[in-house]
């Protein structure tokens, strides 16, 4: 157990340092001013939706449009969009309500993208979730990755912001301590690891891999798109730019549900790779080692190191984590350890009103209303 814990702390330290190095990479200016269509699927009132949409009202460095796609004409998000349109009448926003109801039985985010994409005029399609907030120059900096013609798809790192509840803090810490360094390591290893909260794809590359329609039946359309882009012969890039995932209010239950859903997604893509993730969580092994006779000081040292690692990640990414939230890192690691076993026992996910079993590569099976 001590050896496993030591290996784990070495790996996580390496990840944290690698992330800090990655973030210091020089950013390049966009090679030109391509037209960017930002596709934003909306469903209900995400935390501070108005503030998130407002952050897209006056982007700099790009010619752009924002296509806001809503399935249900009675969705409360529409009122928020209308409020934004009144406050920012010159913002290049377009609201699209409705679409093919048959697609709603699959991945509903993809259904929204399918509804919006035919009206997008951009050479680059930028997918941005409703809870993502950006700075004015972020989109321009992100698409600078397309300066390299081999790059077909690029995604952003993202960290939580705005947490006001215990569950939201835990979710933000999970993004920072686990998701961010995982993405960075994958990028250095040249393994596609795409999280669709904020990602961009060239239009012609999307067409070459079958359009969004090809991904209507999978839960993790982002990673599936990344893998398809790679198979089509293009590179999948990770931008050093960090965008904010606004998570204001979460119950712990909901935060854990998301962790478990993401665990199941990674498990569905590669059981072997998923199983190695136990190694990047050294604290549970340290506690087990203590139970079997190892000195308590060793466990305390692991705790202190983990907190230092997360602090380094917060500084490197500019994540708005409060110092007292760092004290939650040990608890987060233990919860993450316990949720890590769930995919081996259960392949069913519940998400946005439906439940489904996850097949290989997150293909949605036996979809039913939740």
Please, are residues 226 and 193 in contact by the beta-carbon 8 Å criterion?
yes
Decide: helix, strand or coil at residue 348.
Answer: strand
Shortest spacing between CB 71 and other proteins, in angstroms: 9
- Spatial CB neighbours of 84, under 8 Å, sequence gap ≥ 6: 50, 53, 54, 57, 91, 93
Closer residue to other proteins, CB minimum distance, 76 or 233: 76
Shortest spacing between CB 370 and other proteins, in angstroms: 20
Shortest spacing between CB 239 and other proteins, in angstroms: 19
Shortest spacing between CB 60 and other proteins, in angstroms: 5
Please, are residues 81 and 53 in contact by the beta-carbon 8 Å criterion?
yes
Closer residue to other proteins, CB minimum distance, 65 or 141: 65
**Under the phi-then-psi rule, with left for phi > 0, alpha for psi from -120 to 50, and beta for the rest, what region is 64?**
beta
Closer residue to other proteins, CB minimum distance, 79 or 367: 79
Instruction: Count Cβ atoms below 10 Å from residue 61 Cβ, excluding itself.
Output: 17
Burial 97-124 (b: 16+ CB within 10 A, else e): bebeeebbbbbbbbbbbbbbbeebebbb
Closer residue to other proteins, CB minimum distance, 144 or 236: 144
Rounded to whole angstroms, the Cα distance separating 287 from 41 reads 43
Closer residue to other proteins, CB minimum distance, 1 or 96: 96
Shortest spacing between CB 44 and other proteins, in angstroms: 14
Please, are residues 111 and 117 in contact by the beta-carbon 8 Å criterion?
no
Shortest spacing between CB 74 and other proteins, in angstroms: 4
Closer residue to other proteins, CB minimum distance, 35 or 214: 35
Decide: helix, strand or coil at residue 14.
Answer: helix
Shortest spacing between CB 50 and other proteins, in angstroms: 17
Strand pairing of 35-42 and 124-128? parallel
Shortest spacing between CB 144 and other proteins, in angstroms: 15
Strand pairing of 63-70 and 132-133? unpaired
Burial 309-337 (b: 16+ CB within 10 A, else e): bbbbbbebbebebeeebbebbbebbebbb
Closer residue to other proteins, CB minimum distance, 118 or 293: 118
Shortest spacing between CB 340 and other proteins, in angstroms: 41
Closer residue to other proteins, CB minimum distance, 17 or 35: 35
Closer residue to other proteins, CB minimum distance, 12 or 55: 55
Please, are residues 43 and 70 in contact by the beta-carbon 8 Å criterion?
yes
Decide: helix, strand or coil at residue 135.
Answer: coil
Q: What's the farthest any 2 CA atoms get from each other in the chain?
A: 67
Shortest spacing between CB 140 and other proteins, in angstroms: 8
Binding site for other proteins (CB under 8 A): 35, 58-65, 72-74, 78-79, 82, 85, 89-102, 115, 118-119, 121, 136
Rounded to whole angstroms, the Cα distance separating 350 from 368 reads 9
Closer residue to other proteins, CB minimum distance, 62 or 224: 62
């Amino acid at each position: 157990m001590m050896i496993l814990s030591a290996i784990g702390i070495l790996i996580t330290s390496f990840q944290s340092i690698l992330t800090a190095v990655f973030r210091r990479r020089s950013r390049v200016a966009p090679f030109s001013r391509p037209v960017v269509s930002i596709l934003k699927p909306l469903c209900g009132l995400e935390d501070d939706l108005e503030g998130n949409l407002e952050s897209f009202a006056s982007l700099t460095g790009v010619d752009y449009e924002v296509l806001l796609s809503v399935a249900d004409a009675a969705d409360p998000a529409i009122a928020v969009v209308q409020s934004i349109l009144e406050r920012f009448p010159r913002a290049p926003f377009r609201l699209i309500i409705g679409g093919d109801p048959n697609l709603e039985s699959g991945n509903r985010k993809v259904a929204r993208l399918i509804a919006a994409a035919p009206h997008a005029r951009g050479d680059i399609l930028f997918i941005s979730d409703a809870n993502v907030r950006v700075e004015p120059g972020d989109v321009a900096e992100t698409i600078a990755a397309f300066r390299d013609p081999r790059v077909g798809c690029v995604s952003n790192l993202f960290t939580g912001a705005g947490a006001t509840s215990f569950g939201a803090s835990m979710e933000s810490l999970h993004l920072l301590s686990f998701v961010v360094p995982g993405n960075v390591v994958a990028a250095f290893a040249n393994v596609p690891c795409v999280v669709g909260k904020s990602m961009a794809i060239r239009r012609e590359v999307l067409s070459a891999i079958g359009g969004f329609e090809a991904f209507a039946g999978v839960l993790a359309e982002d990673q599936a798109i990344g893998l398809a882009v790679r198979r089509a012969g293009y590179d999948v890039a990770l931008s050093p730019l960090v965008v904010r995932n606004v998570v204001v209010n979460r119950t712990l239950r909901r935060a854990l549900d998301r962790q478990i859903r993401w665990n199941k997604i990674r498990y569905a893509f590669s059981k072997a790779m998923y199983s190695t993730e136990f190694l990047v969580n050294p604290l549970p092994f340290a506690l087990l080692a203590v139970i079997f006779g190892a000195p308590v000081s060793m466990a305390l040292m692991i705790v202190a190191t983990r907190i230092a690692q997360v602090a380094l990640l917060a500084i490197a990414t500019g994540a708005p984590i409060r110092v007292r939230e760092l004290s939650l890192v040990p608890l987060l690691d233990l919860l993450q350890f316990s949720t890590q076993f769930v995919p081996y026992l259960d392949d069913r996910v519940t998400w946005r009103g439906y439940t489904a079993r996850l097949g290989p590569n997150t293909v949605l099976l036996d979809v039913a209303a939740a």
